[in-house]
Chain A
Amino acid sequence: MFFIHVHCVKGGKMKSGIRQWALGCAAGCLVLASALSAATAGTVKVGAIFAVTGPASFLGGPEARSAEMVVEKINKAGGINGDTVELIVKDSAGSSEKAVSFAKQLIEEEKVVAIIGPSTSGESMAVKKVAEDGQTTLISCAAAEVIVDPVARYVFKTPQKDSFAAQMIFEEMQRLKINTIAIAAGNDGFGKAGKEQLEKMAPSFGIKVAASETYDSKATDLSALVAKLKADASIQAVVNWSVVPAQAIIAKNMRQVGWQAPLFQSHGFGNIKYAQAAGAAAEGIIFPCGRLLVADALEAAHPQKALLTQYKSDYEAKYKEDASAFGGYAFDAMNMVAAAIKQAGNDRAKVRDAVEGLQKFAGVGGVFSFTPQDHNGLAIDSFAMMTVKDGKFILYQGR
């Protein structure tokens, strides 16, 4: 701007009066524009990329709503250091291409200080490089471990690691003396990553994978698959790694053919709606999940207790739907960004350092302590084993 202003002064020597006038106008406009932006300097822009619609909308919907809720609350309380937070939510509809172009737009045009999201692992991997190149903090709300392994300087994630979930499941199987299992997984990114993880880890727990099946993640009936698995008498338990609605369908189909083998699900089962969708068939499903689902049952001294009950009641009062672990991912991401901005101001590089410096940060997903090597910051105790009893989630106490 200063450059153009100088140009304008030089323009005085030009012959054409019109040109001089036009340049003067342009400079005037720029001065005006800079004055306007100075007037709105009390705004911190945060970008968000969520799959609000499309196949991953069960993640993106609650995530966008949770992030908006956090921002609304911050702004009601006077913003961060007096600055209003402006959350710019982009709906990627679960598409990596869209997520990438939105990330570029947020970084280059909107000049956001940090980005939260995307919702799915595929999108997060696609956006990872954009965030690195743009030197903008990205706090992903997707599960896959590859997002933060290897560690990228600007990329963080809030959901618990897949491998922790697999480890908890296998440890429980050892307690139940289960040594031959079947794995069923959806053919989306989440299912594939989980299946690989399970297959890789099973031998170290002395567990044999007798069958490993992949199905269409939008499948509407899995009775043929279940019939096939049931026919193998050596299979003692089934681990299903998928998202809705298949995880409810497999539960129903198993019980409908009269198969009572234990069914383990991934942490993707963490929404009471899915248990309700499976109805009576959901009883006894075992799965690892964050403690949000059993917030009321936690002892009062638990570091997450107050936060979890607060988030749950706020979300449920505002949106008239059950809070889920997914919304919690975005709730944590937004709170981390807010905490970092509070500490570092509206500065991308300093915000990144501040996020990495967060220690014992209680969130919905667990208690986060980031290090330069660990951009997830959660330990295995961020998961608890849960089960379904009388249509409700309860802490699992053994069969």
Chain B
Amino acid sequence: MSLDLFFQYLFAGITYGAIYAVVAIGFNIIYNATGIINFAQGEFVMLGGMISISLLPFMPLWCAIAAATALTMLIGAAIEMLFIRWLQSPSVLRMIIITIGISILLRESALHIWGESIRSLPYFYGNEITTFSLGSVHISPQVVWVIAASGVMMGGLSLFFKSTPIGREMRACAANRTAALLCGVNARNMVTLSFMLSAGLGALAGCVMSPITYTQYDSGTSLAIKGFTVAILGGLGNSMAAVAAGILLGIIEAFSVSVVPLAFQDAISIAILLIILFVKPHGLFGSSEAARLKDF
């Protein structure tokens, strides 16, 4: 393999990986707050893309993205308030089924509103054929946007959880809900907030990647599967591990192209997931002890 080809694969892998990681972090935020996997996470990504595309004719790109993120956050909050909040000590299984139901609901609504056609935002910089050249390696500027946006989101999130009072309250709820309640933290609001955060995160990712991957009413499903794989791979609830796991998976997928047909990409990632579940069930970067003391 030539050096050029190596870097070309590497960048392709990092792009996939950054997208997977952002979706995985969305899973983790809600998992930490509620102990459930929100299977509608992929739909948040789709909604972000779709709403911003619909808003674009009426406002500049930046406003459309901001508005789409805000709207998706509201949808996330509404979902939590309508379907999750009023449940009296719901079982995990029940909540999971509810989120699967929500994901179908969102997907079908999207089909009715936007139809079955594929859409996309325009490239943020340049157009479809603009590339940066690093030596003989070519990279689309949008790839840089995706990587940068993912990085900023991850950094911002970690700052939010570490150094803001609300972030600390959310972590308290995640660590020990009862203790947090006793300290006067409104745990229910924290759950709502976690839905808003992960919806916003997903929506923003959906906007940034839309020019590369396109947005279709059902594009959330496959992303959710990949994001879920990455979340498990890194260890559920551990966002920084999700970043590492996401990029690792992306790179493995990209390099696998050189040996097996691209159609096996998904098979490879699922195979890796299975191996990890057998060998290290708490994730690549998790330990069984840490899993008990879950934290962001």
Contact = CB atoms under 8 A, between A and B. Distances in A.
A61 B12 contact: no
A245 B212 contact: no
B97 interface: no
Given A258-B133, A281-B128, A231 B261 contact: no
Contacts of B275: none
A99 B232 CA distance: 37
Interface string B189-216: 0000000000000000000010011101
B116 A216 contact: no
A340 B159 CA distance: 71
B144 interface: no
B117 A58 contact: yes
A59 to B, nearest CB: 9
Nearest to B222: A218
Contacts of B214: 220, 245, 248-249, 277
B128 A53 contact: no
Given A53-B111, A214-B263, A221-B212, A280 B129 contact: yes
A147 interface: no
Nearest to B129: A255
Q: How large is the interface on B (under 10, 10 to 19, 20 to 34, 35 or more residues)?
A: 35 or more
A245 B129 contact: no
Nearest to B254: A224
Interface string A194-230: 0000000000000000000111101111111101100
A255 B222 CA distance: 26
Nearest to B214: A245
B262 A252 contact: no
A245 B263 contact: no
B261 A214 contact: yes
A11 interface: no
Contacts of A258: 131, 133, 138
B15 to A, nearest CB: 7
A261 to B, nearest CB: 14
Contacts of B257: 224-225, 227-228
B13 A224 contact: yes
Interface string B33-51: 0000000000000000000
A220 B213 contact: yes
B260 to A, nearest CB: 10
B118 A277 contact: yes
A245 B133 CA distance: 26
Interface stretch (B2-10, B64-72, B83-91): B2-10
Interface in A254-307: 255-258, 273, 277-282
Contacts of A231: 2, 4-5
Given A245-B214, A277-B214, A219 B262 contact: yes
B9 A256 contact: no
Contact of A57 (B5, B9, B116): B116
A244 interface: yes
A278 B127 CA distance: 10
Interface string B125-143: 0011111010000111000
B288 interface: no
Given A215-B261, A216-B266, A225-B262, A280 B133 contact: no
Given A256-B131, A281-B128, A227 B12 contact: yes
Nearest to B140: A256
A53 B129 contact: no
Contact of A223 (B12, B117, B255): B12
A221 B138 contact: no
A273 B118 contact: yes
Contact of A224 (B118, B140, B213, B262): B262
Contacts of A227: 5, 8-9, 12, 257
Contacts of B222: 218, 220
Contact of B262 (A216, A255, A278, A280): A216
A42 interface: no
Nearest to B221: A218
A323 B218 CA distance: 23
A244 B218 contact: no
A224 B128 contact: no
Nearest to A281: B128
A257 B127 contact: no
Contacts of A222: 262
Interface of A: 53-55, 57-58, 60-61, 187, 213-216, 218-225, 227-228, 231, 244-245, 248-249, 251-252, 255-258, 273, 277-282, 321
Interface of B: 2, 4-5, 8-9, 11-13, 15-16, 111, 115-120, 122-123, 127-131, 133, 138-140, 209, 212-214, 216, 218-219, 222, 253-255, 257-258, 261-263, 265-266
16 contacts: A54-B218, A58-B118, A61-B115, A216-B265, A216-B266, A218-B222, A219-B262, A221-B212, A224-B12, A244-B118, A245-B118, A248-B118, A256-B130, A256-B140, A257-B8, A277-B118
Listed from nearest, the 10 A-B pairs whose CB atoms lie closest are A57-B116, A220-B213, A215-B262, A227-B8, A279-B128, A281-B128, A255-B129, A224-B257, A187-B263, A224-B12
